[in-house]
Amino acid sequence: MAQSGFIYKNIQIYRLCMNLLYKGRYQERFEVISRLIKGTKVTELCFGDTIIARYCRKNNISWKGYDTNDAFVNEAKAQNYNAEMSDINDIESFEKADTCIMSGSLYHFHNSLEEIIKKMLDCAPHVIISEPILNLSASRGIIGKLAKGAANVNGGEHGFRFTEESFLREVIKASKKLNFTFKVSEYHSKDIIIEISK
Ligand SMILES: C[S@@+](CC[C@H](N)C(=O)[O-])C[C@H]1O[C@@H](n2cnc3c(N)ncnc32)[C@H](O)[C@@H]1O
C-alpha cells in the first residue's frame, strides 16, 4: 500500500484517534450500524476496524472485508477474519452478501460515487452507508490535526468531505440514475447513516 498518515499505521493508534474524533462514541457508531444488518452474509468495504466483523462472528453472520491498508488487513487476518487486501476501485464485483456496508469512507470515492453504489447494490440487496457530514479538518488544535491525518490515505490528501446537503444531493442523484430507494436511518455523532435497497 502507498504511504498513508500515521493514523493508519496500526489499529490501536487508529482507534485512539477515532475515539477522539468521535468524542468517545467511535465503537457505538459500529453498534448502531450492526443493528441495521439484514440476513446472514455481510460484505464490508474499507472496513478498517473489525468491530462489525466481531458482531457478525458473535451472531453467526458470515463476514468478508476489503481494505487497502496492509496493517488493518493483517490485524483482521490475525484474528481469522476473512479480510482481503484490495483496492475496491480495482474489483469488478464484491463477494455476494445480504448486506453490504461502507462506513466513514464514501468521501474517498466522491468522484465515482455512482459506480461504487452500483457495485454495492450488485453485491447485496441491502446497503448501509455511514458517512461523516461534519468536517473537523478546519478545527483548531489536536482535533483538526487528527482530522487532517485521517484524510491522508494511500499517499493522497483526501481533503474532500460531504456536508449533509451535498451527501443527500449526490445520493438522490444516484438513486434516480440507478433506480434505488433509500432512507436516512440514523444520525450518530458526526455521521449520517442511510439504508439503500433495490
Ligand atoms: C477513514 S477509514 C474508515 C475505516 C472504518 N470503516 C471506520 O468507519 O472507521 C477509511 C478506510 O478506507 C480504506 N480505503 C481507502 N481507500 C480505499 C480503497 N480504494 N480500497 C479499499 N480500501 C480503501 C482505508 O485503508 C481505511 O481503512
CA neighbor of 131 nearest in space, from 99, 75, 170: 170
CA of 152 to the centre of ligand 1 (A): 11
pTM (two decimals): 0.93
Per-residue pLDDT of the chain (198 residues; tens, 9 = 90+): 444 678 899 999 999 999 999 999 999 999 999 999 999 999 999 999 999 999 999 999 999 999 999 999 999 999 999 999 999 999 999 999 999 999 999 999 999 999 999 999 999 999 999 999 987 776 777 777 777 767 666 655 557 889 999 999 999 999 999 999 999 999 999 999 999 998
* CB-CB contact of 39 with 63 (8 Å): no
Ligand 1: residue whose CA is nearest its atom 18: 87
Q: Indicate if ligand 1 lies below 6 Å from the C-beta of 50.
A: no
CA of 73 to the centre of ligand 1 (A): 11
| The predicted structure's pLDDT at residue 160 | 85
Domains delineated in the chain: 6-197 (3.40.50.150)
Number of H helices, E strands in the chain: 7, 9
Q: Indicate if ligand 1 lies below 6 Å from the C-beta of 89.
A: yes
